[in-house]
Structure 1
Amino acid sequence: MRTRTLAGLGLVLLATACSKNTDNAPATTATQPVAASQVQVAPVPVTAPAAASAPTASGSDKLQDYIACYNQLDRNAHRSIARYASWVKNMETGPSGKENVVYGLYKIDVDEIAKCQASFAQAGKAAPGKLDVAATAYINSLAELGTLVADADQYYSRDNYKDDAFAKGKKMHAPLAAAMKLFEEKSNVFSDEIEAENDKVLDAEMQQLEKNEGRQLPYLQMALMSKAKHLIRLIGEEKFDAATAAKALAEYESLTDEAIAYVKKNSESAASGWSSLERASEEYRKAAKERVRRIRDKVPYSEGDKMMLKPGSAWMVEGSQEKVTKAYNELIEASNRMHR
């Protein structure tokens, strides 16, 4: 399973409200830790032109609220799960009491969860649909997980397991692991629904920009970020079709090269921060090529690579999910900075 931080609807064209880190801490299932693609989506505007597929203004407000809460809460929840799974070697049976290292968990902000629960309940009253159902299931599963994590965090951070021979830790494990698994399932569904709605806004705005202004920098930036997002959805997965990914990579490169050429000819109109975006686009291009080559040529990870494939160092491995994800996240951040 994966965690993704989603770019929110911003206050001006292309501005977003993302958190995004480059930590690349993995998400886990309730049975074993697995690498995650912590991915942002391409920036989108506040309002979209009138179109059948575009959300209404109230729908955009609701989407922004959902994204803001997701960005604020999701990553920390997944990091807490990953922390727990990093030392509980068997997530089916739980702590044995013989662990050499006990890391505990990371805290999840239950107060912020409660605030988002309240705002989700209000947002869901306006034309409820699939997104609202997913949002409710997500925030409720997170609230349950947050309560259990708070109890477990107190137990482990105070070293209470040293006094009861892990008795409470073993008792807590089954409901905790079940809550983790449920949350991860709901998180994936919710993020997919958000991205589907977010894409509608982005696509509608891109069409309107091209119609009104032609292929100038605002359109080209939005288009290249859209292609970058499509590409990461493919190559950020553990397995993918190399031919399909190569086509998506070529489309991204084409839009990026067009944007670079445009700025070269129209440097006076380039937005502040374009040089950073251009550098980030090149880093993403390079990491994406490495990722596609590894899968296309079926290049296995070396023993040295395998030792590096863990939180904090996996991004340094050529062709890894974590490296391309980190490059993509930095591309998003560079794009966001252009309009802050």
Structure 2
Amino acid sequence: MRSVRVRWGVVVSLSLLVVLLSSCQAPLELVKIIRPEGTKPAASTQEEKPGTEAAARKYAGYSALDIYIHGEIADVLERYGERFGHKEKFALHKETHLEWGVNLELKETYKLAEYTELAAKQPALPDVDEAVKKLAPKLEDLVKMLGEIDTYYRFKFYVDDNFAKGKTLHEQLQVLLKEWEPLAEDFTVNLHQSLMKQRELDLADFKANDQMIRYHALESIMAAEAIEDELNRQGVASETLDGLDAASYRVLYDRLTEEVAQYIALADDPERVKQEGLDTYNSYGNMLKHKIMLVKASATDLLQRAEQSRTFDEHNKDGTPKDYKKKLQEAILEYDVFVIGPE
């Protein structure tokens, strides 16, 4: 599957489970999170308007769905293509060791319905909701088909029919992907456009209410996303930094470093944590800080590899764009958990 993650360089500056992640809260549980009494909401709480907690929950759910699509589903499709080809004709690669398994299983698909059902919830996000309504049936079809393909290879039915059904499934998958990809892209584009506007409201609200830990956490996320946008804009491949403009990257890296430093300084200040009403669930803040620090470290690895012309090998994939994207996805999901609050 070609990447349909149209990012900030093309649309606006946001993000996009690679394995539904190791966050302290499962991403697909975000819409169920309830803020405990005595803590401050991330944004203003006027009912059913942009900036409400309901809006934050809806954006969190849609962001998790976006990451699932461009994380786990994209990874499964990539692994499939490596074994059987991305073209219409089935092509079993000689180096494919089917006896080792094909690793095509998608995790926690039963929770996806919660996200497609968000389109009917308030507040309305017209363009995003409409994109989700169009996407949902194809998402269901794709998940079902990938499950059928996984079962076929996992239980070695290909031995019994000499890949006959495998070839049929391959053809059906290619037809489905032609319908799926533009719908997934449309969802991502509309989500990112809408979310960018919401983030500007959030930043203004955080500053107005002196919630500077939240403010610099979001600024750090956005600075990290700007780096991924630049990697995408330059067409840097997932396993190589050939052609990377290190000077342009350095500018964005310096911005990220500055934002992360300000965020950590505030997040490590007990008085500031207490002042912002975060002390009652600071374990979530500590998890977010950890995730953001991992993103920064990965960005540093990228810079070092680019400036030192260090190569990749099968044992060390730190500092690859793919590794950076995964860590950024985890940080985005953790940020949503942190801002909405724990159960």
Unaligned runs of 5+ in 1: 5-16, 24-44
Count how many residue pairs are aligned between Structure 1 and Structure 2.
290
Which whole-Å CA distance do the structure 2 matches of 1:100 and 1:144 have between them? 26
Contact 2:20 / 2:72 at 8 angstroms: preserved in 1? no
My pick for the range that moved more, 132-141 or 273-282, is: 273-282
Higher-RCO chain (CA-CA 8 Å, sequence separation at least 6)? 2
Which whole-Å CA distance do the structure 2 matches of 1:236 and 1:261 have between them? 30
Per-residue deviation at 1:94?
0.9
The match for 1:189 among 186, 190, 194 is: 186
Unaligned runs of 5+ in 2: 6-16, 24-40, 237-243, 274-278
1:276-295 equivalences in 2 (<5 Å): 277-278=288-289, 280-295=291-306
1:104-143 equivalences in 2 (<5 Å): 104=102, 105-107=104-106, 112=111, 117=116, 119=117, 122-123=120-121, 129-143=126-140
CA gap of 1:84–1:298, structure 2 versus 1, over 3 A, is: same
Which whole-Å CA distance do the structure 2 matches of 1:330 and 1:108 have between them? 16
Per-residue deviation at 1:75?
4.2
Q: What SS does the corresponding residue of 2:209 show, helix, strand or coil?
A: helix
My pick for the range that moved more, 156-165 or 271-280, is: 271-280
Match of 2:261 in 1: 257
Which whole-Å CA distance do the structure 2 matches of 1:200 and 1:192 have between them? 13
Match of 1:42 in 2: none
1:131-210 equivalences in 2 (<5 Å): 131-210=128-207
Which whole-Å CA distance do the structure 2 matches of 1:114 and 1:281 have between them? 29
CA gap of 1:144–1:109, structure 2 versus 1, over 3 A, is: farther
CA gap of 1:70–1:19, structure 2 versus 1, over 3 A, is: farther
1:226-245 equivalences in 2 (<5 Å): 226-235=222-231, 238-239=235-236, 241-245=245-249
Which whole-Å CA distance do the structure 2 matches of 1:286 and 1:91 have between them? 37
Contact 1:131 / 1:194 at 8 angstroms: preserved in 2? yes
CA gap of 1:108–1:170, structure 2 versus 1, over 3 A, is: farther
- Answering whether residue 221 of structure 2 is matched by residue 225 of structure 1, we say yes
- Answering whether residue 246 of structure 2 is matched by residue 247 of structure 1, we say no
1:16-55 equivalences in 2 (<5 Å): 20-21=20-21, 47-48=43-44, 54=50
- Answering whether residue 83 of structure 2 is matched by residue 82 of structure 1, we say no
Q: CA RMSD in A?
A: 4.2
Which whole-Å CA distance do the structure 2 matches of 1:156 and 1:292 have between them? 40
Which whole-Å CA distance do the structure 2 matches of 1:69 and 1:229 have between them? 17
Residue by residue over 1:253-288, the C-alpha shift from the partner in whole angstroms, topping out at 9 and shown as x without a partner, is 222222344456x43333534565555544433321
Which whole-Å CA distance do the structure 1 matches of 2:209 and 2:4 have between them? 36
Which whole-Å CA distance do the structure 2 matches of 1:331 and 1:64 have between them? 12
Contact 2:260 / 2:296 at 8 angstroms: preserved in 1? no
Which whole-Å CA distance do the structure 1 matches of 2:146 and 2:206 have between them? 46
Contact 1:79 / 1:106 at 8 angstroms: preserved in 2? no
The TM-score with structure 2 as length reference comes to 0.65
Match of 2:319 in 1: 319
Residue by residue over 1:9-62, the C-alpha shift from the partner in whole angstroms, topping out at 9 and shown as x without a partner, is xxxxxxxx9984279xxxxxxxxxxxxxxxxxxxxx664578xx9477876665
Residue by residue over 1:150-173, the C-alpha shift from the partner in whole angstroms, topping out at 9 and shown as x without a partner, is 433343333222122212211221
Per-residue deviation at 1:207?
0.9
Contact 1:130 / 1:193 at 8 angstroms: preserved in 2? yes
Contact 1:228 / 1:328 at 8 angstroms: preserved in 2? yes
CA gap of 1:49–1:236, structure 2 versus 1, over 3 A, is: farther
Per-residue deviation at 1:106?
2.0
Match of 2:276 in 1: none
Q: What SS does the corresponding residue of 1:94 show, helix, strand or coil?
A: coil
The TM-score with structure 1 as length reference comes to 0.66
Which whole-Å CA distance do the structure 1 matches of 2:287 and 2:52 have between them? 34
Query: What amino acid sits opposite 1:286 in the alignment?
Result: A
CA gap of 1:292–1:48, structure 2 versus 1, over 3 A, is: farther
Match of 1:267 in 2: 270
Per-residue deviation at 1:176?
1.0
CA gap of 1:150–1:230, structure 2 versus 1, over 3 A, is: same
Contact 2:19 / 2:72 at 8 angstroms: preserved in 1? no
